[in-house]
C-alpha cells in the first residue's frame, strides 16, 4: 500500500469516518444535555415569573413604606429575583451553546464543515507558490482556472500506479495528440484544468500532517451556480515545496472522459 493510500485513508477517517462512528454517541449525549437544560430552563423561568409576581404584590400591598421589616423582606425578594434572572440568563446561554454543538456534530456526520462559507473568488486567486498547503492549493486552482498547464504539471505528483496508467493512456493517443499534450503529466494537468473550468471560488477549511511526508487539506469549492462541495487532498512534501498527489482513480476518470465515457 502506497504512502498516499495510507495518508488519505487516515485523513478520511479523521474528517469523515470518525465523525460517522461517533455520531450516535455524540448526538445521544447532546440530546440528553439539551433535554436536561430545557427542563431546567422551563423550571427556572417559572420560578422567575412567580418570584416577580410575589415581589410586585409585596411592594404594592403588603409592605408599608414605614415598616422596616417589610422593607428588608422586599429587598430580600428583589435580590432573590435578580439572582434567579441571572441564573436564567446563564442557563439560556448554555442551552444555546449545546444546540450549536449538536448542529456542528450533525454537520460533521454528514461530511460537512461547520466553518462559515467565506469563499475566495477565482478572480482573486494568485500564484502563491508551493511553500505551504494553502499556497499550493491556491496556486493550482489559480492555474487550473486560467488553463496554465505548465504550472499545474509542476505542482502535481502522480503516485506509481497513477504514473503507470497515465503513461499507458498517453501512449494510446494518436501521435498528433501526444505532440500536443507533450507528456503524461501535462495530459493529467490539462484534465485537471478542464475539471476546474466551472469553479467560481474556494476556501481552505483546514489541514493536518497525515504522515511525515503527506499533508492532508480540506477545501470547500464552489461552482458557477454557487453550489459548494468539500473535498480532501493529499499533498506530498518534496525538496522544492508541496505537490498535489494524483491517485490512480483520478487517471481512470480522465481516461473515461477522453474516451467519451462518464468519468465525471
What is the per-residue pLDDT across 19-73, written as a single tens digit (0 to 9) for each?
443 445 555 665 666 566 666 666 666 666 676 665 565 555 554 555 666 666 6
* pLDDT of 127: 95
Q: What is the DSSP letter of 115?
A: S
- Determine which of 1-5, 145-149, 162-166, 255-259 has the lowest per-residue pLDDT on average: 1-5
243 vs 24: CA distance, rounded Å? 37
C-alpha cell at 103: 448542529
Q: What is the pLDDT of residues 156-208, one digit of tens each?
A: 999 899 999 999 999 999 999 899 889 999 999 999 888 887 888 999 999 99
Residues 6 or more apart whose Cβ sits within 8 Å of residue 220: 113, 115, 117, 119, 202, 203, 205, 228, 229, 230
pLDDT at 118 over 60: yes
Burial 32-69 (b: 16+ CB within 10 A, else e): ebbeebeeebeebeebbeebeeebeeeeeeebeeeeee
The secondary structure element, H or E, covering residue 208 is strand 199-209
pLDDT at 144 over 80: yes
Q: What is the pLDDT of residues 58-86, one digit of tens each?
A: 555 554 555 666 666 666 666 766 666 67
* pLDDT of 20: 42
The dotted CATH code for 120-258 is 3.10.450.50
* Strand partners for 243: 236
pLDDT at 12 over 60: no
Residue of higher predicted confidence among 72 and 253: 253
* pLDDT of 14: 39
234 vs 218: CA distance, rounded Å? 9
Q: Which of 68, 66, 70, 90 has its CA nearest to residue 78?
A: 70
**CA max distance for the chain:** 108
Q: What is the pLDDT of residues 230-250, one digit of tens each?
A: 888 999 999 989 999 999 999
How is the chain split into domains, by residue range? 3-109, 120-258
Amino acid at each position: 500500500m502506497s504512502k498516499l493510500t495510507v495518508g488519505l485513508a487516515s485523513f478520511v477517517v479523521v474528517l469523515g469516518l470518525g465523525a460517522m462512528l461517533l455520531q450516535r454517541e455524540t448526538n445521544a449525549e447532546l440530546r440528553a444535555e439539551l433535554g436536561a437544560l430545557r427542563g431546567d430552563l422551563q423550571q427556572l423561568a417559572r420560578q422567575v415569573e412567580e418570584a416577580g409576581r410575589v415581589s410586585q404584590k409585596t411592594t404594592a400591598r403588603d409592605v408599608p413604606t414605614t415598616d422596616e421589616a417589610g422593607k428588608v423582606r422586599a429587598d430580600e425578594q428583589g435580590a432573590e429575583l435578580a439572582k434567579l434572572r441571572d441564573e436564567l440568563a446563564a442557563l439560556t446561554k448554555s442551552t444555546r451553546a449545546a444546540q450549536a454543538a449538536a448542529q456542528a456534530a450533525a454537520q460533521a456526520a454528514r461530511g460537512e464543515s461547520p466553518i462559515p462559507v467565506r469563499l475566495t473568488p477565482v478572480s482573486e486567486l494568485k500564484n502563491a507558490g508551493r511553500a505551504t498547503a494553502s499556497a499550493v492549493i491556491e496556486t493550482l486552482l489559480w492555474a487550473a482556472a486560467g488553463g496554465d498547464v505548465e504550472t499545474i504539471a509542476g505542482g502535481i505528483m502522480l503516485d506509481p500506479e497513477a504514473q503507470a496508467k497515465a503513461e499507458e493512456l498517453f501512449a494510446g493517443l494518436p501521435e498528433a495528440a501526444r505532440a500536443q499534450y507533450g507528456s503524461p503529466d501535462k495530459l493529467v494537468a490539462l484534465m485537471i484544468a478542464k475539471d476546474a473550468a466551472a469553479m467560481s471560488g474556494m476556501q481552505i477549511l483546514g489541514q493536518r500532517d497525515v504522515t511525515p511526508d503527506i499533508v492532508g487539506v480540506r477545501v470547500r469549492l464552489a461552482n458557477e451556480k454557487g453550489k459548494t462541495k468539500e473535498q480532501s487532498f493529499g499533498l506530498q512534501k518534496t525538496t522544492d515545496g508541496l505537490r498535489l498527489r494524483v491517485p490512480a482513480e483520478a487517471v481512470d476518470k480522465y481516461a473515461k472522459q477522453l474516451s467519451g465515457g462518464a468519468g465525471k
